[in-house]
Structure 1
Amino acid sequence: MKLYSILSKSNYLLLFLFYSLVCSSQNPTVSGVIKARSGEPLPGVSVVVKGTTVGVASDFDGNYSISVPEVSTLVFRFIGYKTLEVDVSLKKSINVIMEEDINSLDEIVIVGYGTQKKSDITGTVASLDQERLESVPNVDISQAIQGAIPGISITTLSSGAAPSNDDTSIVIRGKNSILASNGPLVVVDGVPYQGQLRDINPNDVKSLEILKDASSAAIYGSRGANGVILITTKGGVEGKTVIKYDGYSSIQQLSNLPNLMDGEEFYNFKKDRDPDAITVSEQEIYDNKSWVSWPDIALRTGFSQNHNLSVSGGSKNTKFYTAFNLLDVKGIAKNDNYQRISTRVNLDTKINSWLTLGTRSTLTFGDQSGNSANFSDVFWMNPLTKPYNDDGSLNIYPWEEDTFWSNPLEGVYMENTNTSTQIVTNNFLNIEIPSIEGLQFRLNTGYRYRTTDSGTYRGRNTTEGFEKQGSSDVSRQYIKSSTIENILSYNKDLGKHRIGLTAVYSTEENERSTNSLSAEGYPNDILGWYGSSQASLIEPSYEYRKTNLISQMFRANYAFNDKYLFTFTVRRDGFSGFGEGKKWGTFPSVALGWNITNEDFFKSDIINNLKLRGSWGRNGNQAVGAYQSIAKFRVFDNVVGNTTAPGYIPSTLGNPNLSWETSESFNIGLDFGLLKNGITGDINYYNTNTSDLLLNRSISPVHGLFEITQNIGETNNSGIEVSVSSTNIRTDNFTWSTRGNIAFVKNKIVSLYGNLDENGNEIDDLDNNWFIGKPISTNYGFQYDGVWQTDEADLAAVYGTQPGYVKIKDVNGDFVINGDDRVVQGQRDPKVVWGLTNTLNYKNIGLNFFITGVSGNTKSNDLWNTDVYQGVRRNTVNRDWWTPTNPTNTIFANDELASSQGGFQATRYEDASFVRLRDITLSYDLSDEILKKLKLSKLKLYVTGRNLVTITDWTGTDPELGSQRSTPQVKEYVLGLNIGL
C-alpha cells in the first residue's frame, strides 16, 4: 500500500506540472483527427508548420494538437501516404483524410509503449497479416499465428474442444531454457497479460505484433528473453455507428485414426503369441462376434458455432467499440465441450485539447465442464470386452478376468464442473502538452481478476468411485494482477532530425490463492461433492503466492534524414521472487538501421526499399516461483500411539543468489522492397546465448534433500528467418498475392553443471538426456536396427538372441549390448518451420489457401513403441509381423520376447515432418449495387476447410500432436457469414 500511495502522489504532482505548462501556451491551437481513406485512424503522422521545425505526431487514435501562428500552413507527412498541405487560415479544427501512395507504402507498427513507422524500426518486429485475423475464422489467437510468422513454433500435446488449452506451447526462435518456461510474454493493449490466449476473442483484435530480437523486446527486461506478443484490440472511429455481425457454424470430423486391431485381428494376434492367454469372456465375445471398437463409441461428429456482434462509432471527442461473442464447441470426443461468452467495451474520450481518457475492458466466462473418455485407454483397450452391462449401464470392469482395466468411457459418467470468470480492464489517461510540442504523459492501469471453479465426483458407477465408495476433488481459485505504468514520451521532428524519447516507471502485483478439498467414502452418490462433509476421509489443502515487480525503462529513437536510425533501450527490473541479493537486474540493448534506398548514390528502378538493421541486447527470463529462493517445509506428521504429532521436513533449500536467466542476443536483418513494392520482405539472422540457467544441481543427502535450484548452465540458439510477400497479378478484375515465410533454427546446450571428465570435457546429464553440444530436446537410447534375419542366426546367437527378434545396433562394435551403445537419435523440435499463403480474388469471389510445414524433427510414436512391448493385454495397431516366410525388417516376430535383446529394448523414432493444408477459404462478397439496395455496407459468405490434407511419413494419429494416445486431430468444415450495417 505504501508503494501505491507514493505512485498516486507522484501522479498528482505530474498532473499539476503538466497543467501549468498547458496554461502557458501562447499560440492558438489547431487540432483534429487524421484518417486513411478506409476510415481507420492513422497514428504517428508527422504534422509540421511549413517552413519551421515546429511539429507533432498524431497519437494512436489519429488525434493531433499543435500550436501554430494564425496564418500558416500545416504539412502532413506519413510514409506510405501522399504528403498533404493544408492552410490554417484561423481554423481551430482540421480533420484530414490521407491518400495511400502505392509507390512508398509503409505502415505503423506497435513496438511497445508506443508506435513507430516501419521504415524507422531497427529491431525485429513481425506483424500478423490482417487477413489471417479477419478473412479466416479463428477461434483462438494461436490458431492465427501458427505458420503465419517466421520463427514461431506452436506445439499441441492433444486436440480437443477448448482452443489453446494448457497443452499448447508457443516458442519464439527456439528454446532458450532447459527447465524454465520458454513461453513468450503476452501484452494486451499495453498491459502485460497473465491469462490464457483462449480467453481473448480474435474478432476484437485489431493488430498483433511479435517482438523477436533483444532490442525490440528489451523494453520488457526480465520477461522479454522468449519474445513478446503485442495484441491491440479495436477502437471506435469517428463517424456513423457501424454494426457488424460475424458468425459461423462448423462440423468436425476425425482427421486420422490409427489402424487398430478389431476383435478378430486381436484374437488371432493373441492366439499366435500365447494360445493359452485367451480368457473365457474373450472367447465368448469372439464366438458371438460381439467385439467392440472403443474409438467408435468414444468419438462423435463435432460441432461448433461462433457468433460475434460489434457496434462501433464515435464523435469528434468520444469513440467507442463494444462487442459480444459466443463460442460453443462440441468436440469429436463425447462429452468434450467448451463454451466461451465474452463482452468488450473500448472507449476513448477527449476531455479537452490536452486530456484524453480511455478504457479497454472485457468480461469473459468459460465453461469446460465435463470429462471425455480416457483416450490412452481407448487406444489400448482390448476389443474383446464389454463396455456396457445388459441393462445399458456402464460396465465398470469391461474385462471380466482382468480388473486392472477400468472402463475408458467412465469419465463421461463422472460429475464434473470446470468454469471460469475473468474481468480484464486496462484504463489510461493521456496528457498532451501544447506548450512543449510532442511531449506526452500516459498513465496506464491494468487490473485482471479471474476465478475458477472446478470439481469432479466419481460415483459408484466408476472404478475409483466403486472401490472407494465415492471420491471427489474440488478446487476454488482466484487470480489477481494489477499494473500501474507511468509513461513519459517526447517525439519531435527537427528538419532532418527526428527524435523519440520514452521513459517508463511501472509496478506490477500478481496474487494467486487456491483452496482444494479431496474426499472419499461417501454414504451415497446423491449429493455428489456437496456431501463431502459426510465422507469418511477428508483432505483439505491451501496454496497462496504473491509477487511484485518494479521496473524503470528508457528508450531513445533517433533518425537522421530518414537514412540513419539509432535505438537505445535500457530497463531495470526488481522482482520479489528472486534471492535477497539478486532482486534487481539491468537489461540494455542498442540497434542501428540504414535506409540505403534514401541515399543519393542509390538509384534503382527495381529496388525501391532496402534497409539494413543490426541489434544487440540482453533480456531476462523471470521463470521462478514466488518463493523458490527461500527454504520451504512440508507437512510430515508423526503418529505416536493413537496421537498424531504435527511435524515438518524440508521440501526445498533456499538460495539467496537465485536470479533470472539472461539471454544475450545479436540480430542482423535486411528489409527489402522490389518493383514498386510489388515484392517485399525481410531476412534475419540471430544468435542468442542464454546463461545462468535455472537448473537443479545434485547435492549431498546430508542436507535432507538431493538437489537445489541454482543459476548454472548455458544454451545457444541461432537461426535464419525469411519472409516474402508479393503481388503476382493485379488487374481491374483479378488479383493474386502470395506471402511466404521460412525459419531455420539451431539449438544446443553449451554447458550444464561444469563437471569435467578426465579429458577436460564437460560431463553430460544422461539421466535427463541433456548433452553438451546437442539440442535441449533430444531422443536418446538404444538404436532400433531392424530385425535379425535367418541368415544372421550365428551372429544373433553371439548377442544371445535369434532370427525374428529385434536387432539393437552395436554402436561401439564390442559384441555386447549395454549402456555404452545408447546414442542421440535426432531432436524433437523442428529444425525448419514454414508457411505459405496464396490469395486470389476475381471480382467479388475470393480464394485463400494456407499451407504450413515443419521438418527436421523425430519423435517416438507410442502407438508403436509401447503397445508391442506389453504382451497380449493391450490392443495395438496392425503389424506386418516377421515370420520365416515374411522376413520383414520393419517389425519383429509376434513373440513376447522378440521386442528385447539382452534385456534391453530399442525405441523406434519416426520422422515427424509434415506438410499440411492448414486452411482453405472460398468467399463471395455481394456487389455494391446489391448492398445499396439492402442498405448494407457489407455481406460476405464463405466456406472454410481446416486440416483437410496432411502429407507425412508419420504412422501415428498426427505428427503435430505430442501424444498419439490423446484426443485425435480433426478436420473442420466451416460455413460463415459477415454482415455490416
Structure 2
Amino acid sequence: AFSQGVSAKGELVLKGVAKGVEGKDVIVVLRTNKNGMSRGTEGGVFSKKIVSLPDTVFFSAAGYQTVFRVIKSPADLLRPMTIRLSEVSIQLEDFSVNTGYQRIKPNETNGSVSVLSESALNERQGTNILSRIIGQSSGLLLSTGKTNANPQNQTGITIRGLGTINGPLDPLIILDGYIYEGDINNINPNDVANVSILKDASAASIWGARAGNGVIVITTKKGRLNEKMQLSFSANLLLQDKPDLYSLSQMTSSDYAEAERKLFASGYFNDQITRTPYRALTPAVEVLLAVRSGKITAVEGERQLDVLKNTDGRKSYADNFYSVPLTQTYALNIKGGGQNYSYLLSGAYDRSKDANSALSDKVNLRLANDFKPLKGLTIGLNAYLTSSSLFSGKPTYGTIGSGTRSPVYQDYGDEGHLVSIDRIYRSVYTDTAGNGRLLDWKFYPTENYKHNIQKTSRNEIFGSTSIKYQLFDFLSAEAGFQYQKQQLNTSLNSDPESFEARNLINSFSQLNRTTGVVRYIVPLGGILRNSYTDSRSLTGRFQLNLNKLIGSHSFSAIAGTEMESKSIDDILANISKAPVAVRPLRQRRLPDRHHGRPGRVGQGGPGAARAHRVAAARPLLARAYGQPALRGPGPACWRRRASRAS
C-alpha cells in the first residue's frame, strides 16, 4: 500500500501507519530533532519529508505513550513503518488531607475540607499564595474593604463568611505543621506543594479556639529519596490594564454640585462655618458661601459652579495618579536525593509596581533536607528566609479631598498646571495666618506624594528541625522544634517640602506680632516617623503516631504534647530632621496658636516601647475510626499572658 521512501523528485520520505490497541487507527503527531514536525491523517497514515540524517522521530497521540524511532540512513526509509502505541495507564495519587499534625483520608473526618494541588495552584499567577487560592475553593472569599477594623485582620480573606462583628476574621495559617505567625504574603507560592483548607468546627477540635475562623494548612515541597537532581527555572511578566474609574457607580459632577447647593441652602454647613471657620470646605460650598457673603455676584457664582459641574475628577485622577501595573517573578528550584538523603534548594525574586506606582521587592530562599542515617530514623532540617520592601506610591482614588469630603468634580491639575486643594484648612485662612510669615500652607496633590514616602521592610526567618523514628511497623515517635522571627520596620519620611511637615510646623509656630519674629516650636525641616516590631516564636512538640490495620478495619491515633512561647516588641519614634540636627520629637500637648485649642506633637514619644510575652502548653489527643479528630483543650484554655512597658 506504500511506495518506497523516495519521492518522484528524489526526496527522502518517511511513510507508514500508526495503530493503537486492537489495531485501531491512531492519528499521530511526528516530532523530529532536525526535520521539524507534522501530523498524520485519518486512518493513522503519516508521511514526513526527511532532509537531514541521522535523526530521531517521536510519535505521540492523546491517551497513548510516546514512542520513538531512530533513522540512521536512507535504507531505514525503504519500507513503510508500522507504529504500535500503548495506552497510558495513570495511577491516581492517594487523596489525603493534611491537618498539620497528621495526614488523614477524607473518610476519616466529618469536617468540610478542600485540598488544592500544585497543578491547581499553578493555574493562577501571583506573587503570594493568597492570590492563587482565591476562587479555587467554595466558601473561601476575598473580603478586602468588607472586614471590621480589628488589627488582627491581615489576610483580607474569610472562610464561610463573617463569623464575628468586631473580632478577628482571619483563618489560622499552618506552615509545614506549625502555626505561622508571619505575613502570609512572604510565602513563595512556587515552594508550595499543596494546600488543605479546613472550613468548619472540626478545625477547632484540632487547633483550638484560634481555628474558629477555619484553618489553611500549607505544605511546602521537598526532595525525594533516590531522585536525580532536577533543576527548574521560571520567569513571568504580568501586565494589567489601568483601573477603569468610569466603571465606578457614582454621582455626576452636576448632581454632586446641586446636592451641595441644597445642603447649603438648608443650613447643613452653617455649624462648621460658624464654629470652625478655618476648616476646609469643598469648592462648590466655597462658591456658595462667597455669593452669600457678597464677595462675588450671583452671576459669577453660577459661572464658577458651571465650571465644576463640567469637570470630571475621574479623568484628572487617572491622568495624574494611575499607570499600567507590572509584575515580574523569577523562581529557581533544585532538588534531588540519594539512598539516605534528599534535598531541595529554592530561591525566588518578585518585583512589582502597582497601578499607583507603589514599588515592592521580595526575595525568598528556602532549604529543605531529610536524612536517614539509620533504618527507621529520619532527621529533617528546614530553613526559610524572606526579605521584602515596599515603597508607597501615588494616592488612590477617593483619598484626596477637601476636609472630610471628596467631591467628584475635583480638578487635580495636569502637566504644567499646578493645583492646590484645601486639604485641612480653608485657603482664606492659610493665606492670612501669621501675616504671611509662616511656611506655604497649601496642599499640592500632584507633588505632595513625592515628598511623603513610606517604606516598609520585612525580614523573616522560619526554621524547623524534626526527628522521627519508626518504633514498630504501626507506631512511630516524632519530636520537633520550630523557630520563627519577624522584623517589621516602617518609616514615613515627610521631607521639608511635604504638606505634612509644613502643616505640623505651622500649627505650633508662635508669632510675635510686635516684632514679627516667628518661634518654631517644631523645628524647621522634615519629619521622620519610625516604627519597629520584632516578634519571635518558639514551638516544641513530641508526638506518637499509631496506624494499625486489623483485617478490614483501620485504627489511627496521635498523642503528645506541645509547648509554645511568643514575644513581641514594639518601638515607635518620631524624629525631626532639621537642617543642622536630627532630634527626637517627644510627645507633648502644646497650644495651637492659630486655632485656640491644644494639640499633640509626636506619637508615643521618641522611643515608646512595649513588650508582650505569651507562653502556652497544650496536650494533643486525637483518634480516628472514620470519625473526625478529637483534641484536648485549645490554646485559650492554657494561655497565660503577661505584658510590661519599658
- Normalising by structure 2, we get a TM-score of 0.64
- State which of 544, 565, 568 in structure 2 corresponds to 1:509: 565
Which residue matches 2:214? Answer: 227
Matched, 1:459 2:495: yes
1: CA distance, partners of 2:97 / 2:536 = 30
Matched, 1:325 2:348: yes
Which residue matches 2:468? Answer: 430
Matched, 1:372 2:394: yes
Q: How does 1:535-934 map to 2 (within 5 A)?
A: 539-540=605-606, 541-558=608-625, 565-567=626-628, 569-573=630-634, 575=636, 583-584=637-638, 626=641
Distance change in 2, residues 1:378/1:294 (3 Å):
farther
**Structure 2, unpaired ranges of 5+:** 1-88, 266-283, 291-295, 431-440, 506-525, 589-600
2: CA distance, partners of 1:200 / 1:138 = 12
Larger Rg: 2
1: CA distance, partners of 2:528 / 2:91 = 65
Matched, 1:156 2:217: no
What residue identity is the alignment partner of 2:610? E
Shift of 1:545: 0.6
* 1:342 alignment partner, SS class: strand
Matched, 1:247 2:218: no
2: CA distance, partners of 1:256 / 1:517 = 39
Shift of 1:402: 7.6
What residue identity is the alignment partner of 1:312? K
Cα-Cα RMSD: 3.9
Give the fraction of aligned pairs with identical amino acids, expressed as a percent: 20
What residue identity is the alignment partner of 2:562? S
Alignment size in residue pairs = 468
Kept after mapping to 2: 8 A contact 1:295/1:378 = no
Distance change in 2, residues 1:450/1:543 (3 Å):
same
1: CA distance, partners of 2:481 / 2:620 = 17
* 2:190 alignment partner, SS class: helix
* 1:195 alignment partner, SS class: coil
2: CA distance, partners of 1:566 / 1:384 = 62
Shift of 1:313: 0.9
Kept after mapping to 2: 8 A contact 1:242/1:311 = yes
- State which of 247, 271, 288 in structure 2 corresponds to 1:277: 288
Kept after mapping to 2: 8 A contact 1:252/1:303 = yes
2: CA distance, partners of 1:259 / 1:495 = 65
Distance change in 2, residues 1:301/1:429 (3 Å):
same
2: CA distance, partners of 1:331 / 1:200 = 20
- State which of 192, 197, 210 in structure 1 corresponds to 2:197: 210
2: CA distance, partners of 1:445 / 1:554 = 19
Distance change in 2, residues 1:119/1:360 (3 Å):
same
Distance change in 2, residues 1:311/1:278 (3 Å):
farther
What residue identity is the alignment partner of 1:146? I
Deviations 1:514-556 (A, max 9, x none): 1111245x534x87xx554799966231121111110101112
1: CA distance, partners of 2:352 / 2:422 = 31
- Normalising by structure 1, we get a TM-score of 0.43
Shift of 1:231: 0.5
* 2:572 alignment partner, SS class: strand
Shift of 1:120: 4.0
Which residue matches 2:578? Answer: 523
2: CA distance, partners of 1:174 / 1:267 = 38
Which residue matches 1:296? Answer: 319
Distance change in 2, residues 1:573/1:566 (3 Å):
closer
Shift of 1:324: 0.8
Shift of 1:153: 2.4
1: CA distance, partners of 2:307 / 2:538 = 66
Deviations 1:437-473 (A, max 9, x none): 2221111211111111111122332222112234332
Kept after mapping to 1: 8 A contact 2:100/2:176 = no
* 2:130 alignment partner, SS class: helix
Deviations 1:49-69 (A, max 9, x none): xxxxxxxxxxxxxxxxxxxxx
Distance change in 2, residues 1:264/1:182 (3 Å):
closer
1: CA distance, partners of 2:497 / 2:208 = 53
Shift of 1:158: 9.2
1: CA distance, partners of 2:484 / 2:109 = 31
What residue identity is the alignment partner of 2:288? A
Shift of 1:416: 2.4
1: CA distance, partners of 2:372 / 2:120 = 32
Distance change in 2, residues 1:266/1:553 (3 Å):
closer
Distance change in 2, residues 1:267/1:320 (3 Å):
same
Structure holding more strand per residue: 1
2: CA distance, partners of 1:555 / 1:270 = 64
Shift of 1:388: 7.9
Shift of 1:110: 1.5
1: CA distance, partners of 2:451 / 2:459 = 25
Distance change in 2, residues 1:532/1:286 (3 Å):
farther
Matched, 1:141 2:129: yes
- State which of 476, 479, 496 in structure 1 corresponds to 2:532: 476
What residue identity is the alignment partner of 1:548? A
2: CA distance, partners of 1:177 / 1:262 = 36
Shift of 1:364: 0.5
1: CA distance, partners of 2:612 / 2:586 = 31
2: CA distance, partners of 1:374 / 1:255 = 11
Matched, 1:172 2:159: yes
Matched, 1:421 2:459: yes
- State which of 340, 365, 385 in structure 2 corresponds to 1:363: 385
Kept after mapping to 1: 8 A contact 2:490/2:531 = yes
Which residue matches 2:518? Answer: none
Q: How does 1:21-40 map to 2 (within 5 A)?
A: none
Matched, 1:115 2:103: yes
* 1:544 alignment partner, SS class: strand
Shift of 1:477: 1.5
What residue identity is the alignment partner of 1:547? V
Distance change in 2, residues 1:568/1:144 (3 Å):
closer
Kept after mapping to 1: 8 A contact 2:144/2:157 = no
* 1:219 alignment partner, SS class: helix
Kept after mapping to 2: 8 A contact 1:217/1:224 = yes
Distance change in 2, residues 1:402/1:266 (3 Å):
farther
Which residue matches 2:7? Answer: none
Which residue matches 1:499? Answer: 555
2: CA distance, partners of 1:405 / 1:260 = 28
Which residue matches 1:936? Answer: none
* 1:427 alignment partner, SS class: strand
